[in-house]
Chain A
Amino acid sequence: DGGITQSPKYLFRKEGQNVTLSCEQNLNHDAMYWYRQDPGQGLRLIYYSQIVNDFQKGDIAEGYSVSREKKESFPLTVTSAQKNPTAFYLCASSTQQGAYGYTFGSGTRLTVV
Chain B
Amino acid sequence: QSVLTQPPSASGTPGQRVTISCSGGSSNIGSNSVYWYQQLPGTAPKLLIYRSDQRPSGVPDRFSGSKSGSSASLAISGLRSEDGADYYCAAWDDSLSGVVFGGGTKLTVL
Bound pair (A, B): no
Using CB atoms and an 8 Å cutoff, list the residues of chain B in contact with chain A. Answer: none
